[in-house]
């Protein structure tokens, strides 16, 4: 079994979600062969020194314990935690990837992404993304004192929230042509991503082929994840009592 999560946005302001993620890693994830974190695990990551923040220590320890149990841990940075680096890898044992990853999922090759590169209608965000993903920009930022980096990270987070509030829905969603281009480029028929906070299953006709896209749910108020067996994908969440149930947004 493979397990996927995205857009947890963990922080000091989300103690219940932090604990729910640790519980998932210590529980259901122990039955997995691979765990995939598809971006925005953390709300703000100002550098790998953040692994020692009190709110993040249990998460880092649970990720390390999962890896020590022999379970593969794959991480793709998101738009909030794009500064994940070698220190995070050393602390957790994770495999840190770039913008995308191709793996065999549910018996077929699948493209895994955070998903922000698909939102091509949002031109200001794509310009911002190019800036913050530039290695020279990141090196210059990481050379600043940690307190300054954390202040910059909080400022970027506030600006992002304000920008999102002022944008119409189509700007924040994946662009149909960008989706089709990914299917064509990688020559596969399954795409799994997060970022848009619009969970569900979609079918896209690309050059006569029915290509399938599954969008992971964000952890706005509860745990949400995807599991893949040898043949199919299954979405789960927790109910108001904390019990694991099928996520109705994917039915």
Per-residue model confidence as pLDDT tens digits over 208-239 = 999 999 999 999 999 999 999 999 999 999 99
* Residue whose C-alpha is closest to residue 36's, from 91, 104, 87, 86: 104
Asked whether the predicted pLDDT for residue 158 surpasses 90, the reply is: no
- Mean of pLDDT values over 60-64: 98
Find tokens 């980096």 and name the residue.
149
- Comparison of pLDDT for 212 and 162, the residue scoring more: 212
Query: Which element (helix H / strand E) includes 11?
Result: none
Cα gap 103→105, rounded to integer Å? 6
- Residue 169's pLDDT is 63
DSSP 216: P
Helix axes 135-142, 146-165, angle to 10 degrees: 130
Q: Which residues pair with 245 in a beta bridge?
A: 237
Asked whether the predicted pLDDT for residue 27 surpasses 70, the reply is: yes
- Domains in the chain, ordered, with CATH? 2-250 (3.60.21.10)
- Residue 251's pLDDT is 79
Asked whether the predicted pLDDT for residue 172 surpasses 80, the reply is: no
Cα gap 122→239, rounded to integer Å? 34
- Mean of pLDDT values over 36-58: 97
Asked whether the predicted pLDDT for residue 155 surpasses 70, the reply is: yes
- Mean of pLDDT values over 152-176: 77
**CA atoms within a 13 Å half-sphere pointing along the CA-CB vector of 32:** 24
**Cα separations in angstroms, 165 against 118, 123, 124, 162, 168:** 19, 16, 14, 5, 8
Q: Which residues pair with 4 in a beta bridge?
A: 36, 226
Q: Where are the alpha helices (DSSP H) in the chain?
A: 15-26, 57-68, 86-92, 123-132, 135-142, 146-165, 169-172, 176-186
- Residue 90's pLDDT is 98
Asked whether the predicted pLDDT for residue 156 surpasses 90, the reply is: no
Q: 82-86, 154-158, 211-215, 243-247 — which is least confidently predicted?
A: 154-158
User: pTM for this structure?
Assistant: 0.95
Cα gap 15→18, rounded to integer Å? 5
- Residue 167's pLDDT is 62
């Amino acid at each position: 079994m493979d397990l996927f999560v995205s857009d947890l946005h963990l922080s000091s302001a989300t103690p219940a979600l932090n604990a729910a993620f640790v519980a998932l890693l210590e529980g259901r994830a122990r039955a997995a062969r691979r765990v995939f974190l598809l971006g925005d695990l953390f709300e703000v990551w100002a550098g790998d020194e953040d692994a020692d923040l009190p709110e993040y220590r249990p998460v880092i320890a649970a990720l390390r314990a999962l890896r020590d149990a022999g379970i593969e841990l794959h991480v793709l940075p998101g738009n909030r935690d794009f500064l994940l680096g070698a220190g995070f890898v050393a602390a957790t044992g994770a495999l840190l990837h770039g913008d995308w990853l191709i793996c065999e999922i549910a018996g077929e090759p699948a493209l895994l992404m955070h998903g922000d590169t698909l939102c091509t209608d949002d031109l200001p965000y794509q310009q911002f993304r190019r800036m913050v993903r530039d290695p020279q920009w990141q090196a210059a930022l990481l050379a600043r004192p940690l307190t300054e980096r954390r202040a910059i990270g909080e400022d970027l987070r506030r600006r992002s929230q304000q920008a999102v509030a002022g944008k119409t829905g189509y700007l924040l969603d994946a662009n149909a042509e960008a989706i089709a281009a990914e299917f064509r480029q990688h020559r596969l028929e399954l795409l799994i991503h997060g970022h848009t906070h619009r969970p569900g299953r979609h079918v896209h006709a690309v050059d006569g082929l029915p290509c399938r896209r599954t969008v992971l749910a964000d952890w706005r108020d509860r745990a949400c994840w995807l599991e893949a067996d040898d043949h199919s994908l299954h979405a789960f969440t927790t109910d108001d009592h904390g019990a694991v149930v099928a996520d109705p947004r994917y039915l």
